[in-house]
Amino acid sequence: MQRSRNDLRLTLALATIWPQSPVDLVRHLRVGESFSMSISSLSFLKQRYLSERREFYLEKDRIRVYYKDSNGDAEIFVRYEDLTPDMSRISQRDGRLYNIAISFGLFALAGFVANLLGYQQLMRWAPLWAIAAVIFFGFYLWRRRNYLRLGLASGNYLYFLKNNPSEEQLLAFFKEMQEARKRYLRREYFRIIDPEDTQRELNRFELLLKEGIISKPEMEDMKAELQSYDGNATATN
């Protein structure tokens, strides 16, 4: 019951931090709004779980991601343009531990069956195999990892360990990541790039307005500036 309540709390807060997420239907609920407003911003996030390590740094023009696990380590960079509102939850377990547990369990079963049939040579090992099977299966259950998966425009994902190091810190980082994305898009795209293609410029400004990066008055100012470009071009001709 406690886990269900925490999941609902996180879902409601994410809906407010990322308004275009799949949980957009509940973004206006007061509990989500008040909770997201109570957390402070965070420009980096460090996560650890057993041998797994994940670090995220919000840089001026990109997100730097470092991760390390039993298979190795890597550092990647994600552009703010590539972030999407696609957020989902997944759980992963170590399949190798499961296979080892099943193998020992089968060996133990074979030993017990052989003992019943009168072959006692394997019986002395069967209890040890049974104990090993229980231990490895316990590790398999214990090493379950829960992730929040953020979709990228490339089709890849950013994986965050759920509620690690805490629910509040994770939500604070998501909020700051959204703000960093807005600052970057405003800095790079809230300007006239190609005054000869008026419609393309207007489409870009409308997208910035839709995502809350610019205001309606700023949009109108840019329209007027584009019209001035058109007027100057017409007068020149």
Tell me: pLDDT of 175 over 60.
yes
Are 164 and 56 part of one and the same domain? yes
pLDDT at residue 19, as a whole number: 46
Nearest alpha-carbon partner for 107 in 18, 99, 21:
99
Are 179 and 202 part of one and the same domain? no
Q: What is the mean pLDDT of the segment spanning 11-16?
A: 42
Residue with tokens 């019209």: 227
What pTM was estimated for this model as a whole?
0.67
Are 194 and 179 part of one and the same domain? no
Domain limits at 181?
2-93+144-188
- Report how many domains make up the chain: 3
Are 67 and 133 part of one and the same domain? no
Are 99 and 176 part of one and the same domain? no
* Per-residue pLDDT reduced to its tens digit, 47-99: 998 888 999 999 999 999 999 988 899 999 999 999 988 889 988 877 888 89
| Integer Cα distance of 233 and 237 in angstroms | 6
Are 176 and 59 part of one and the same domain? yes
Are 67 and 172 part of one and the same domain? yes
Are 8 and 81 part of one and the same domain? yes
| Integer Cα distance of 195 and 91 in angstroms | 49
pLDDT band for 4, please (50, 70, 90 cuts): very low
Q: Lowest mean pLDDT: which of 36-50, 150-164, 166-180, 184-198? A: 36-50
Are 44 and 153 part of one and the same domain? yes
The strands making up 44-49's β-sheet, listed across from edge to edge, are 44-49, 52-58, 62-69, 72-79
Tell me: pLDDT of 132 over 60.
yes
Q: What is the mean pLDDT of the segment spanning 99-128?
A: 85
